[in-house]
Amino acid sequence: MRKIIHWVHTSVDGHIDGPQGEFDWPVMGEELSAYSEALSERADTLLYGRGVWQGMVSFWPTAESVSDHPHVLAYAPIWRGTPKIVVSTTAEESEWAAAIIRKDVAEEIAALKRRPGKDILLTGGSRLAATLTEHGLIDEYHIAVHPVVLGGGKPLFRPRADRLGLRLAESRTCDSNVVVTRYDRA
């Protein structure tokens, strides 16, 4: 069965964006970019909630026209060439989305996992990740902790009624300043 991999950037104080929703603080150095690109190579489907989707679709289709950063140049063609599924009740149809899941999220994602293919990469966000975590659908959590304290914003993990057990599978430092940990569902 395919795995769902959650790939997310967080601050030291556990926020995935700043108090005003800003996401200008992650720094993609050479090693972190290589890590991100390797995760993308494992997947043949990209999965997004509405908020992250809006940010991705506003940048990646024409990313090379606004940035010559090596990660942008390497990842933009991967992003454009990989089918993308959006989970949202309000997202509009887009040429970039292969599908939009509007209801029965857990059932639809579980069915997606059972289809043949490579892994599924869920990038960023907390709401969709919380829903999939609640239903036991995320297999790996890859968390990049950046050396910044944001003082507020969306939490990496939303409050839960019960404890979530994870198993540390890997930890590394990228570019001498970002700690990436990989946890598997226990």
pLDDT number for residue 169:
98
Domains of the chain from N-terminus onward: 4-185 (3.40.430.10)
pLDDT number for residue 98:
95
The torsion region of residue 20 among left (phi > 0), alpha (psi -120 to 50) and beta comes to alpha
**pLDDT interval class at 34 (50, 70, 90):** very high
- Distance between CA 39 and CA 37 in Å, rounded? 5
Cα dihedral sign for 127, 166, 120, 102? negative
> Per-residue pLDDT for 117 more than 90?
yes
Residue that the structure tokens 């990469």 belong to: 121
DSSP-based three-state secondary structure for 135: coil
pLDDT number for residue 92:
87
Residue 100 contacts residue 86 (beta carbons within 8 Å) = yes
Mean pLDDT of 163-168: 95
Q: What pTM did the predictor assign?
A: 0.95
| Alpha-carbon separation of residue 18 from 42, 110, 148, 153 (angstroms) | 29, 31, 10, 4
pLDDT number for residue 58:
95
The torsion region of residue 176 among left (phi > 0), alpha (psi -120 to 50) and beta comes to left
Beta strands at 84-87 and 99-101: parallel, antiparallel or unpaired:
parallel
Residue that the structure tokens 């869920």 belong to: 122
- Distance between CA 139 and CA 183 in Å, rounded? 8
Which residues make beta-bridge pairs with 5?
121, 140
